[in-house]
Amino acid sequence: MNLRLDLLAPELVLGLALLALFVQTLTTRKTAEPRTGGGFLYGGWLAYAAVASAVASAATLGLSGLMFYGAYQIDALSQFFKLLISVGLAIATHNASFGGTPELAQDKRSDYYLFLALSAFGLMLLASSVELITIVISLEISSFSLYAIVPLRAEKPEAVEAGIKYVMFGAVATALALFGLAYIMAAHQTTYLPALVGRDFGFAGAPLAALGLVLFAVGFFYKLALFPFHFWAPDVYDGASNETAAYIATLPKLGAVVVLVRLASLLGPGPEVAMVLAVFGALSMTLGNLMALAQKDIKRLLGFSSVAHAGYIMLGLVAGTSEGFAAASFYALVYLVMNLTIFWVVCRTSPSGRNLVLDDLAGMHRRAPILAFVLAVAAFALVGLPPTAGFTGKLFLLSAAWGRGFDWLVVVAAVNTAISIFYYLNLVRYAYTAESDEPSELKGGVAQLARPTAWANAFGLVLAAVVLALGVLPSPMFNLAAAAGQQLMP
C-alpha cells in the first residue's frame, strides 16, 4: 500500500484536531464560550490547528505519491487545494469564534466546530481522491457535516427550512452522481481515474460513458451552485447563520473545483461535453447576475453572486488546457479570499447575527470607516476591477477560454461582468453615500449595528491587503496553480 505519513501531514494534523474536538464535545458541552474575543475554548484553537495544517500542506507542495491501493494521490494539485482549504478553514473558524456565533445555542457550539472541521477534512480527502467511489465517499463526509450545522441557528424556523432544502437537493445530486458512476463503470469497467485516461467520453463513440460523466459531475455542480443546480444557494445562505454561510459559500466550492479540474484534465471530455459545460456556465453567469440585481438581503445577493461565479470558473474547465486548469484553480483561491473578506464585514456589522439588508449599510463610512473600505475592496474584487484579485483571476480565465475558441463564452462573461457592476457597487453606494442615524428595521425588530473593535478592523485590513496583493502580484500563487495544471496533463 506504500503508506507515507509525511505526505499525509495535513490530514493528520486536522484529524488530531477532530479527535480533540470529539473528546471536547463529550466533556465540555455546557461550558459557555466567550461571545467576543478569540473564543479559544472551541473555535480559537481549531483555527490554530488549521494554520498548522496549512503549513504542513505548504511543506508538501513539491512531493508526490500514490497510496491506499491507487485511490489516493498526492500531487501538486491536491496539496495546492489542501493549502487553500486549511487557510479557508482558519479564517472561517476565526470569523465564527471571534463573534461568538451569537445565534448558536451554547450547548451546540462544540458540535458546531466539530462538524466544521469534519467538513474540511472531507474536502481534503476529496482533493487527493483519484477513484470515483472514494470521491463520492469524501464528498458525502463533507456534505453530511454541513447538513448538520445549517439548522443549528437558534430559534430560527428559516434555518430548519434551509437545512431541509440543503439535504434534499444534496440527496438528489448524490443520487445522480451515483448513477453517473454506474454508467462510467459499465462503459469502461473501472472506477480509477488514471485507468480511464484515454478512454472515449464522446457522445458519438461512447454515449453511456459521456452521459455518466455528465451525471457524475452533477454532484459537484451542486456544490459549486452551477445552473441548473443552484436553487439551494440563496435560500441556504439566507437561512443559515452568517458564520455558517461564510463557510458554505467558500470552502465546499474548493472541493468541487479540484474534482472538476481533475476530471477534465484526466478524462479529456469530448467536444459535446465541453459544450454542455460552456452552456451551463453561460446560463449560470446570466441567471446569477440578473437575479442578484433584485436582491435587498445581502446574503441572498451573495448567494446569487456565487451562482454567477460558478459560471466564470467554467471558462477554465471548458478550455481543457493546463492554462485553463491553472486559471480555474487560481480563481478558486481568489473566490475564497473575496468572499471570506465580504463575510467578515457582514459578521462584524451584525453582532446580533441577524441578516443584513442593503439599508443596514447606510452610514457605514461614518460608523465603521475601515470596514467600509474593506467592503469596497471586496466588492471591487467581486466585480473584477483592477488592481484587485478579481480582475487578475477573470483575466486568466478569459484568456484561457479565448485561446481555445470559446470567444462567444468570453463575450457572455464580459457582458455579465458589466451587469454585476450594478449590484456589487450598490453595496459601496449604500456604505458611502446613504446616510442613516438609525439601523433599519427588518422582520419586526431593530438590531443595533456595532462599532467594530480594533482587531476586527485590523483583520479586515489584512484580508483586503491579500485581495489587493493577489491582484498586483499574482505570480507566486498562479505559478503554483500552473505547476499543478502542467502535472495533470497526460
pLDDT surpasses 80 at 79: yes
Residue 28 has pLDDT above 80, yes or no: no
The per-residue pLDDT for range 206-252, each reduced to its tens digit, is 788 888 888 888 888 888 889 888 888 888 888 888 888 899 999 99
Partnered with residue 192 across adjacent β-strands are: 131
* CA pair distance 206, 457, nearest whole angstrom: 56
Rounded (5°) CA angle 337-164-338: 10
pLDDT at 288 over 60: yes
Query: Which residue(s) pair with 129 in the sheet?
Result: 72
pTM: 0.89
Q: What is the pLDDT of residues 174-213, one digit of tens each?
A: 999 999 999 988 888 888 888 888 777 777 777 888 888 8
- Residue 83 is which amino acid? L
Nearest to 288 by CA among 314, 311, 260: 311
489 or 122: which carries more pLDDT confidence? 122
Closest C-alpha among 138, 106, 135, 87 to residue 39: 106
Cell of 262: 481533475
Q: What is the mean pLDDT of the chain?
A: 84
Rounded to 5 degrees, what are φ and ψ at 236? Answer: -70, -45
> Which three three-digit cell numbers place residue 450?
456595532
Q: Give the helix/strand (H/E) hosting 65.
A: strand 65-67
Look-up of cell digits 483575466 = 395
**Residues of the chain by 3-state class (helix, strand, coil), percent to 5:** 75, 5, 25
Q: How confident is the model at residue 450 (pLDDT cuts 50, 70, 90)?
A: low
Q: Which three cell numbers stand for residue 321?
A: 488546457
- Could you tell me what percent of the chain has a pLDDT over 90? 30
Higher pLDDT, 198 or 481: 481
Q: How far apart are CA 5 and CA 229, in angstroms?
A: 38
pLDDT band for 380, please (50, 70, 90 cuts): very high
Predicted local confidence at residue 445, as pLDDT: 35
Q: Determine the pLDDT at residue 162.
A: 82
Pairing of strands 65-67, 72-74: antiparallel
- Integer Cα distance of 397 and 417 in angstroms: 13
